[in-house]
């Protein structure tokens, strides 16, 4: 990674941190303004106009924070584009080096061909289908495709973060904003985090949690995203194999807006059944009791 790429990547992280800070400032300022308006309203009942200058100051500061958040997001996207451009420049330098190497090989082959008056091919150490010059050509072609994509393709607007040991919503927001994509805002990530906690019907507190957040078109995919809190998992039915209660991991998973079990992979809903050794998926995983085996009866001997 060259200096330009490092600087642009560092700018993405700096702006991500700044957007999270501004989001927290906005929340605090909104609470301060609401309290000040409440006091001013109570005073106005008694004919006292209150400190209007203070209210105007708070309102102006709140608007400025909102403008700063928008500017922060715009500059972060500009930094993402700068990273892609810097990486394209790095690849162009590699392509130039490969072209020079390829040209050197071609020149040597031509000289040997003229000297020996027979066609000469330079191959790689390990025999294969292509000569060394052809392999270099294929590498150059692949790099040029990457360069074109970095320079002309639209910024990715989808992504996923999968984080373990997370305590605060700020950590999740920083991880999302540090991605090189069009991603959800810090404000929306923090709000989603809070909704997941509401779905849990109890504060997350200091419990470590896993955050699995997916976004599409720059917006959070609320159906696929969830927070899992290991300490909130509950025991389910007794395992038919061990005779001990089975920890139901679904009870520790929470999605914004509603508390519903989150299934991963093929078992997208509780009703989905997959046969495993004659058992349904839920029976195999220990969520449902396994059917009792019928004793096999020996066939009666013929008289």
pLDDT per residue as tens, the chain (303 positions): 677 888 888 999 999 999 999 999 999 999 999 999 998 888 888 888 778 889 999 999 999 999 999 999 999 999 999 999 998 988 998 999 988 888 888 787 777 777 766 555 555 554 556 677 788 888 889 998 999 988 888 899 999 999 998 889 999 999 999 999 999 999 999 999 999 999 888 888 888 889 999 999 999 999 999 999 988 887 767 666 766 766 777 778 899 976 554 444 433 333 333 333 455 434 444 445 556 655 555 555 544
- Distance CA(189)–CA(205), nearest Å, equals 18
pLDDT (0 to 100) of residue 130: 67
* Of 67, 233, 264, nearest in space to 160 by CA: 264
292 with 261: CB under 8 angstroms?
Answer: no
pLDDT (0 to 100) of residue 265: 40
First to last CA, the chain: 87
- Distance CA(197)–CA(265), nearest Å, equals 24
Length of the chain: 303
202 with 251: CB under 8 angstroms?
Answer: no
pLDDT (0 to 100) of residue 121: 55
Which contiguous run of DSSP H or E holds residue 73? Answer: helix 52-116
54, burial (CB in 10 Å: exposed 0-12, middle 13-18, buried 19+)? middle
pLDDT (0 to 100) of residue 170: 94
Q: Output the CA torsion 178→181→183→187 (10° steps).
A: 30
pLDDT (0 to 100) of residue 282: 44
- Distance CA(79)–CA(81), nearest Å, equals 5
Q: Please state the pTM of the whole predicted model.
A: 0.69
């Amino acid at each position: 990674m060259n200096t330009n790429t490092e600087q642009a990547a560092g700018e993405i992280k700096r702006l991500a941190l700044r957007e999270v800070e501004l989001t927290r400032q906005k929340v605090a300022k909104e609470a301060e303004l609401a309290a000040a308006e409440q006091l001013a309203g109570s005073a106005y009942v008694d004919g006292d106009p209150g400190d209007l200058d203070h209210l105007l100051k708070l309102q102006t500061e709140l608007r400025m924070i909102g403008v700063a958040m928008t500017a922060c997001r715009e500059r972060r996207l500009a930094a993402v584009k700068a990273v892609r451009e810097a990486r394209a420049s790095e690849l162009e330098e590699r392509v130039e080096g490969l072209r020079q190497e390829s040209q050197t090989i071609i020149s040597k082959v031509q000289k040997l061909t003229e000297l020996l008056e027979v066609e000469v091919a330079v191959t790689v150490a390990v025999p294969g289908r292509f000569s060394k010059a052809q392999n270099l050509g294929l590498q150059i072609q692949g790099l040029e495709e990457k360069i074109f994509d970095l320079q002309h393709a639209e910024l990715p607007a989808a992504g996923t973060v999968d984080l373990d040991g997370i305590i605060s919503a700020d950590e999740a927001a920083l991880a999302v904003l540090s991605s090189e994509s069009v991603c959800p805002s810090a404000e929306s990530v923090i709000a989603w985090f809070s909704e997941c906690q509401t779905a849990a019907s109890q504060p997350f507190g200091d419990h470590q949690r896993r955050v699995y957040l997916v976004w599409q078109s720059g917006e959070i995919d609320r159906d696929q995203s969830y927070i899992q809190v290991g300490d909130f998992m509950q025991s389910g039915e007794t395992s038919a194999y061990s005779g001990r209660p089975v920890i139901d991991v679904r009870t520790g998973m929470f999605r914004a807006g509603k508390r519903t079990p989150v299934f991963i992979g093929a078992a997208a809903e509780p009703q989905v059944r997959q046969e495993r050794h004659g058992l349904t998926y839920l029976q195999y995983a220990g969520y449902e009791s396994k059917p009792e085996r019928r004793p096999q009866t020996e066939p009666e001997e013929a008289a």
